[in-house]
Structure formats: structure tokens, C-alpha cells
């Protein structure tokens, strides 16, 4: 775990908080999901957590929906968001057997096949379903090293989330250092698997690609695209389904066996297309409270008038 920057006070508080979450995690699932229903009502109607952001994102992405359909989708999203929260608490008490009851992978044998041809595999996924649970997928796959990029949290929460994400042996890489670490490992002969949540909004200075995604031009993070091409990595899209509450089924979709053979930005374009198909299947499971469309083509041109931008 990446704890080197935490002070002793934050570590002590983090250990206490993790212990409390673990105790709560042993409570039955019906209790957690009952609490989630109550919290979602408060979050949506009393606190109004990012309600305007959620409404704008949904309305812009689904202009064909009526007002009542959008309201229904909004309620379903807040319920799911709170489900993710209580499932993080549940994860603190998970052992291997319990994790396997909640998460499954449809075709894990694909990894064996790809590793026989390529020592590097990138997994690409979005903030869909419960992305925090997928860090335990090392238990379900024939991999020796599973690396996950993450965004550093503040104070004791950094300790808690790092411990949760690494509890089944996953190695964590700080987002700011991930590229350097991956390139440093490029001469390592052992199999390496990297998982990246690739649907975040890039900064204005790093934006070089916009794709038409959910009915609007959307800035795309292209760092993983460049890394995969430099390493000639195999790339897999993780398609997620939730057949029922608390159950997630993952399907591995092969995007390429050698990213170095693809044109520039092709991986990013293909990823966004696959993600949109997943979202449209059950849209409430995506993270609509994220300010995903804050970077626009007009904003980039205003700040960097001579920058070359690809729009597709």
C-alpha cells in the first residue's frame, strides 16, 4: 500500500476507521441495502448531492426521454450510488469465498491465452457497476501480478481505501506515477496485468481527443492509449452486468493483441464506443454525479488556440 506520505495520526485514524467498517461489513446484506435505500433518499431529496450535475448529465445524454423517465432514472442512479457505498463497507469484511459469491468473470481463460502471446495486458473499464470490487478480480483470473491505478485520497481515507483495494493482493499505482512505473517494468519478463478506469475527464492542457459519446462531444483521456502502444500490449475491455443486487458479472472483450499496430487514438475511440453500449444497457449503473463534460472543445481552443485537437 502507498502509505509513505501519511502521518502517524492519519494512519491511526485510518486503522480505527477500517476496523469500524469491517465490523459493520459483517452485518447481513439486507441490512446494508436497507440502509442504502434510506441514505439514497436523504442524498437525493434532502442533501441534494450534485443533483444539478446529475440532472444535466442525464438530460443531455438522453434527450429522447420524457421528464418522468429522467426522474425515474435519477432515482435509480442515487440508489445505485448508495449501493456502491455500502458495498465498499461490505468489502472490508469479505474473504475470498464471499467475494466469489458476489463477483464472477464469464471468460477468464482469455487471459491465459493472451499471456502466452504477450507479457503485458491492459484492462480498461469505466465507473460502471462497482469498480471498487473489481480490484479483487485477481482471485478470479490466472494472473501473478495485478496492478491498479488509483487517485490518492486525503487523510485516513487514503489508508482505508488502499487497504480495501489491495486486500486480495492487488498492487496499487498512484495515478501520477503509474506511467513511469509501467514503463520502468517494460523489460521485466514476468507477466504484467494493469487495470485502468479510463473514463475520467482529462485536464484542459492534456486534452487532444474529443469523441461523440452519449450525444455530446466528450474529452477523452489518452494516456493509456499511448502506454499500450509503446509496450505493444494486449488490451481488454471489461464489460459489466449486474444480474441482480449485489451480483456483478464481468465479460472480457478483446480489443487488440498488440496495441502498437493500431492507429493513434484508436484504442480510446473503441473504448468509448464499448463503454457507451454498456451504459445504454442499464444507465443507472454509471457515475452520473461526475462532472464529466466540464472540458469542452471551445474551452480547450480558448486556452490553447494553436493546439491540434482530433474530434470524431
Question: What DSSP element (H or E) covers 104?
Answer: strand 103-105
Secondary structure letter of residue 311 according to DSSP? E
| Beta-sheet strands, E only, within the chain | 103-105, 120-125, 146-150, 171-174, 192-197, 209-213, 216-219, 234-244, 247-256, 310-311
* Closest alpha carbon to 10 in 158, 162, 172, 174: 158
Could you read off the pLDDT of 243-301 as tens digits, one per residue? Answer: 999 999 999 999 999 999 999 999 999 999 999 999 999 999 999 999 999 999 999 99
Q: Looking at the predicted structure, is the pLDDT value of residue 1 above 50?
A: no
Are residues 146 and 140 in contact, defined by beta-carbon separation less than 8 angstroms? no
CATH number of 96-311: 3.40.1130
Residues 6+ positions from 21 with CB-CB distance below 8 Å:
88, 89, 92, 160
Q: What is the pLDDT of residue 187?
A: 80
| Beta-sheet strands, E only, within 220-259 | 234-244, 247-256
Where residue 159 falls among pLDDT bands split at 50, 70, 90?
very high
Q: What is the pLDDT of residue 44?
A: 97
Q: What is the pLDDT of residue 175?
A: 83
Where residue 117 falls among pLDDT bands split at 50, 70, 90?
confident
Q: What is the pLDDT of residue 155?
A: 86
**What average pLDDT is seen over the chain?**
92
Task: Write down the residue that cell numbers 473514463 correspond to.
Answer: 199
Q: What is the pLDDT of residue 80?
A: 98
Judged by average pLDDT, the poorest of 87-96, 139-148, 220-229, 294-303 is: 139-148
Could you read off the pLDDT of 217-257 as tens digits, one per residue? Answer: 999 999 889 999 999 999 999 999 999 999 999 999 999 99
* Ordered alpha helix ranges (H), 178-290: 178-184, 223-231, 266-281
> For 45-54, b where at least 16 C-beta lie within 10 A, e where not — what string?
eeeeebeebb
Q: At what angle do helices 266-281 and 223-231 cross, to 10 degrees?
A: 120
Q: What is the pLDDT of residue 47?
A: 96
| Alpha carbon 263 to chain centroid, angstroms | 25
Q: What is the mean pLDDT of residues 97-126?
A: 92
Where residue 76 falls among pLDDT bands split at 50, 70, 90?
very high
* Closest alpha carbon to 205 in 311, 306, 303, 312: 303
Write down how long the chain is. Answer: 312
Could you read off the pLDDT of 3-57 as tens digits, one per residue? Answer: 556 788 889 999 999 999 999 999 999 999 999 999 999 999 999 999 999 999 9
Taking the alpha carbons of 43, 48, 50, 54 in that order, is the dihedral positive or negative?
A: positive
Edge-first strand order for the sheet with 216-219 is 216-219, 209-213, 310-311
Look at strands 234-244 and 247-256 and give their pairing: antiparallel
Q: What is the pLDDT of residue 3?
A: 58
Q: Looking at the predicted structure, is the pLDDT value of residue 189 above 90?
A: no
Amino acid at each position: 500500500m502507498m502509505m509513505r506520505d501519511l502521518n502517524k495520526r492519519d494512519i491511526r485514524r485510518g486503522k480505527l476507521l477500517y476496523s469500524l467498517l469491517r465490523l459493520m461489513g459483517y452485518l447481513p446484506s439486507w441490512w446494508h441495502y436497507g440502509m442504502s435505500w434510506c441514505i439514497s433518499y436523504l442524498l437525493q431529496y434532502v442533501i441534494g448531492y450534485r443533483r444539478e450535475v446529475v440532472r444535466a448529465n442525464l438530460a443531455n445524454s438522453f434527450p429522447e426521454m420524457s421528464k418522468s423517465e429522467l426522474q425515474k432514472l435519477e432515482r435509480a442512479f442515487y440508489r445505485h450510488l448508495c449501493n456502491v457505498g455500502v458495498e465498499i463497507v461490505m468489502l472490508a469484511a469479505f474473504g475470498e469465498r464471499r467475494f466469489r459469491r458476489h463477483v464472477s468473470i464469464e471468460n477468464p481463460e482469455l487471459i491465459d491465452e493472451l499471456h502466452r502471446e504477450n507479457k503485458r495486458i491492459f484492462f480498461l473499464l469505466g465507473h460502471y457497476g462497482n469498480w471498487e470490487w473489481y480490484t479483487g478480480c485477481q482471485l478470479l483470473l490466472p494472473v501473478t501480478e495485478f496492478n491498479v491505478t488509483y487517485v490518492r485520497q486525503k487523510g485516513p481515507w487514503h489508508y482505508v481505501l488502499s487497504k480495501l483495494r489491495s486486500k486480495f493482493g492487488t498492487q496499487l499505482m498512484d495515478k501520477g506515477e503509474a506511467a513511469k512505473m509501467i514503463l520502468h517494468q517494460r523489460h521485466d519478463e514476468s507477466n504484467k496485468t494493469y487495470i485502468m478506469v479510463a473514463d475520467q475527464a482529462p485536464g484542459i492542457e492534456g486534452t487532444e481527443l474529443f469523441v461523440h459519446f452519449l450525444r455530446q462531444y466528450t474529452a477523452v483521456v489518452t494516456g493509456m492509449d499511448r502506454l499500450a502502444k509503446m509496450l505493444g500490449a494486449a488490451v481488454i475491455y471489461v464489460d459489466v452486468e449486474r444480474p441482480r443486487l449485489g451480483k456483478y458479472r464481468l465479460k472480457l472483450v478483446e480489443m487488440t493483441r498488440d496495441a502498437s499496430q493500431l492507429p493513434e487514438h484508436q484504442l480510446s475511440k473503441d473504448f468509448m464506443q464499448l463503454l457507451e453500449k454498456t451504459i445504454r444497457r442499464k444507465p443507472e449503473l454509471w457515475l452520473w454525479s461526475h462532472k464529466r463534460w466540464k472540458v469542452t472543445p471551445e474551452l480547450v481552443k480558448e486556452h490553447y488556440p494553436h493546439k491540434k485537437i482530433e474530434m470524431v
